[in-house]
A = this chain, B = another copy of it.
């Protein structure tokens, strides 16, 4: 049986780094989703096994909390493991650590994934997959010393700050707007000066519904404090005035 913890090496590629020469958080999020995908696939419950059964994993929540971001050209590992399984959901954690100095921990992540039927979009019982074999891979001893995932509560006071059409490059292999693109678009709401003064300490995103090519995405921002912001994204389908919530994010900046 494979280790409970999967460990995958990545490189902080120069074009994936921001002006401060450290990895963009969107690209780190992408590496985490890749690590999750590889970990599940190698253990028999990945997309290539599930999709022919008309089932798929859907990312429901993600939190990334960093002490620092890997610098340009750093090789680093994303470790990932399943901390717990409920009937319809798994909790999956991440640790990001330098590949040359494993005492250098860059940060951690937490996520929740739902198993759904690709036709009905209804939740599916995870225990029905290979007789609940995922239970053999639950790892509760490995530390993930960051706060729990947030539902991202927002007041009604958030103001519209951007309204942006969706484009070809936003659309993923499932025909939905790519989960990571929301992170990039939300971080693009802040001016470069914000990133000169602050770094992102933590990013929470709670996915509520899918959006699609042709939708216009509206971004509503609530300033919780000087360095904490929440953003609600809604979708308006083409030739429609019906606005529905797609996701909510919370961004915590810090001065080092």
Q: Which chain A residues have a beta carbon within 8 Å of chain B's beta carbons?
A: 13-19, 21, 24, 26, 30, 33-34, 37, 47-48, 72-73, 167-169, 171-175, 178-180, 184, 187-188, 190-192, 195, 213-214
Contacts and interface: CB of A to CB of B under 8 A. Distances in A.
Contacts of A173: 14, 17-19, 21, 72
Contact of A169 (B26, B47, B191): B26
A13 B30 contact: yes
Which 5 A-B residue pairings sit nearest by Cβ, starting from the closest?
Answer: A167-B188, A192-B213, A21-B173, A19-B171, A169-B184
A18 B188 contact: no
Nearest to A180: B15
A26 B168 CA distance: 12
Nearest to A184: B169
A191 to B, nearest CB: 8
Copies of chain A in the complex: 2
Given A15-B34, A21-B173, A169-B187, 10 more contacts: A13-B30, A13-B34, A15-B30, A16-B30, A18-B168, A19-B174, A19-B175, A19-B213, A48-B73, A168-B192
Contacts of A47: 14
Contacts of A187: 168-169
A213 to B, nearest CB: 5
Q: Which interface residue of A15, A21, A24, A173 has the most chain B CB atoms within 10 A? A: A15
A72 B41 CA distance: 14
A167 B33 CA distance: 24
A189 to B, nearest CB: 8
Nearest to A195: B168
Contacts of A191: 168
19 contacts: A13-B30, A13-B34, A15-B30, A15-B33, A15-B34, A15-B178, A15-B180, A16-B30, A17-B173, A18-B168, A18-B172, A18-B173, A19-B172, A19-B175, A19-B213, A21-B173, A168-B195, A169-B188, A192-B214
